Structure 1
């Protein structure tokens, strides 16, 4: 078991899996009073190693075989950690609702026996799931995970909790606190010599900077995150962050091959048992659609946007749903169908706003304003631009404040003296 631990810490996960699988043969030789606890400990370690390799389905099957043992023992000191691993694995497979239920069970079991470490881990899992479900309570859950795990020796999981907190903060557009949380993850990874933590932290920092319009910084951080990645899953995620950075940078010649490579890698992982790849697939497909449209390939852009919309609707991740509507709106605008573009952009705003993704909602408002202006609806266009500009100010994103004001000037619209009229009862245009 010590050999497996060393192999796992160095991300030689194939070796760790082999050692742990060999160790299972020795469990039955142990005294009866030690057997159950050792078996569950071994299964947890093995599941963790399998997750590093992107073999989430195999890990979940392994855990499933132990559920009868857990129910028979009725020991919260064992069932709490067990249901945390069930939650973490289900999340990797993209089953966010199911993962959240398992995390709540882990939290309840841990509270029964005062196990603060598992309470922290369960909150970490809940926080991560809230991000995928588009729920803003992930911030409170992430902070609770940090508060609990800071009292323990679980430095790696403390880093993961700061990471989950960072994800939820940049989900709502609170970028500077998000960067602070991600820097905590990076520092912990550096302190304990863990390149996976460092890679995840730097990759997500790339996403924040890219969203803010700081493209050179975003691309450089994405490259660094990819270089640090030590295992198949973190390498795939590093490639995803590079693809997202290239997409935000807007150079279709550079972005398209990287987006395609990232999609191929996430699909490969899904073939091995999955790693939240359908959520990521839908997001990347929207990006690929926008870049093909930018390159002038309307037919390919349309096919990709429709695929992204279908996948996003099936998985119900609001972020992917909002981006898919945005991609379809851009296609309609290119075709000169401004009424249809307005409809798509309006839905994008509503989806983003409904999931509290304030920055993305504001960016979609810029596109909606352009479509409204092109359709002769100057008053509504002014309203959308003012809402976007004010949101960017609140979120402290100066490049986008300038972008909104420049767009207003280009369109001949006043923002500071604008007073919105009452919307008609049947209006489809978002007002808040």
Structure 2
């Protein structure tokens, strides 16, 4: 994989940001929401091993997003995102100048101010970074769609007839999008065993993860007005790691004739830091060659994907270390986030600031590059073996799944941190009564 250089300062006076392999160098500056013990929520950016308090910087007059009032003393970054690309660029430039080695010294040289705005990440509780207006998940990875289709319909009929023409998606639940580190209860629901004429009720037995990238919409549109792919790309503020937890047995029973419902609605985890599109700009790559031509409203205006390496690890309860079960790359997607957004809006659907679009499961061509256990264990027929000697076809209670990822530049890495979740037993069933 080729490494790339980037415009902007390469070193920060925050020394940990210059360390090899650091997820949060000065060229990254991802946005999130945090709080310290006993304090209110506020917006921040990650720099090295620290979080920088943007609300305090705004109060001190060192950054200005150009709004009529403060935008960073909020419970989400939505107010800032809604200001649009010009404000995003202005604040990024201000932060880079304040944090660069040899840059604007007003923060670095003011010991009292610096000590009041720069906190170790270990002291910060990281919260959901955005107020999720709506959540839509797509099915836009060709290898994943082919793998799943092959299991259920055979390789010759793996892709639905429309798959090469539109990014297929469904509307999920914004109410159960949670930040990394939130425990996930095994869902209850209906499933139909193969040897039964009737469905049964109980905890899912085929619980799975899905490795995805989520795009965060910064500026919305208007109902009744489509947007072009180019306009859609401008509307995207940044990206998060996303785990769209899936109950495969509940899904298999409920999805005919419509789509996923309870099998997906119980939880979706995202990473706490939103990596901006500006930070990822040097890593743009083209979507793959089209097997069938796309209609004009979906055609690419330039490179729309990103070269982002991704990993999934699984750690059983009580295990000392995790096993990496998948390594893949976001560049394997067939449809980009901008194409997904353009398709979403083309009917006249209004898109809002804070909308979250899941990429769909990211799977590469090799078995070790698959982004779900459904594929890795091939529907349960080929269980995978962990470093502990245990095997998995699907997730068990106590398992911790972690998604990590980053784009490798020339001497620096644009990382996402981690998106983790631990599986808890299903909740006790209520007394259904009569």
Shorter-chain TM-score bucket reads: under 0.3
Larger radius of gyration: 1
TM-score, length-scaled by structure 1: 0.26
Q: Which has the higher strand share?
A: 2
TM-score, length-scaled by structure 2: 0.26
Q: Which has the higher helix share?
A: 1
